[in-house]
Structure formats: C-alpha cells, structure tokens
Amino acid sequence: MKKTDIYVGLNDQDTKVQKFETEKYVSVLKRLCIAYKVPFSFTLIDGGYIHDSGEYTQEKTLVLTLIDADKNIIEEIAKDLCVFFHQESVLVTVGEIEAYSISEQL
C-alpha cells in the first residue's frame, strides 16, 4: 500500500506572503478532495522552502495525505493545488506503508 503526501505552502509565489486566512486554504483543500472523491487527511505545519531563485522563505504549509490513491489523481490534485494556491511548485512524496484497520463493538 502506498502513502502519498502533498506539501503545499501558503505563501504566494510572487509576494512571498500568505494572502488569505489559513481557514480559506483548508476549505479549498477539502473541497478539492471531495470533488475528486478521494479519502484524505491533512495537517498544518510550519516549514521553510527554497525557491528556484535560491531565496529562502518560512511559511505555513498544508500536508495532504492520501492512502493508495491513483497516481493520475494524485498528479491532478497536485497540479490543482499549485494553481489554486498560486505556488511555484508543490512537493509530492510517496512511500510504501503497511496499514490495517481495527474495529471493536461493545
């Protein structure tokens, strides 16, 4: 089983500052995942990024986690996030995981 994380910074690629409240970005992320009908989770982290120009920036970052998603869907979501959040790029990481569910009834 594969776990994919998509890291998308919230600072605008041109102004290098966050244009909207974090909740607005979260709302867009959720609506995008619902539109693609993919199970998802996300976290908000603080991070740093080096632009293509070599400039370093610190920013809030959303990390979208998808489990066993189709590669084509992952790439479409990543492209959409790049456009919607006005990013130079987004980072996609993929790794093999072992996962299972546990349920219990009283």
Domain ranges of the chain: 2-96
Give, in order, the Cα–Cα distances in Å from 5 to each of 32, 40, 74, 96, 98: 15, 10, 9, 12, 15
Q: What percent of the chain has pLDDT over 70?
A: 100
**CA dist 72 to 36, 69, 75, 78, 79, Å?**
11, 9, 5, 10, 11
Rounded to two decimals, the pTM is 0.92
pLDDT confidence band for 24 (50 / 70 / 90): very high
Predicted confidence band of residue 32 (pLDDT cuts 50, 70, 90): very high
pLDDT tens track for 34-68: 999 999 999 999 988 887 788 888 999 999 999 99
Is 61 in a helix, a strand, or coil?
A: strand
Q: What six digits make up the tokens of 37?
A: 């009908």
CATH class of the 2-96 domain in this structure: alpha beta
Q: Given this model, what pLDDT does residue 51 score? A: 79
Query: What are the backbone angles phi and psi of residue 58, rounded to the nearest 5°?
Result: -105, 145
Report the chain's mean pLDDT, rounded to a whole number: 95
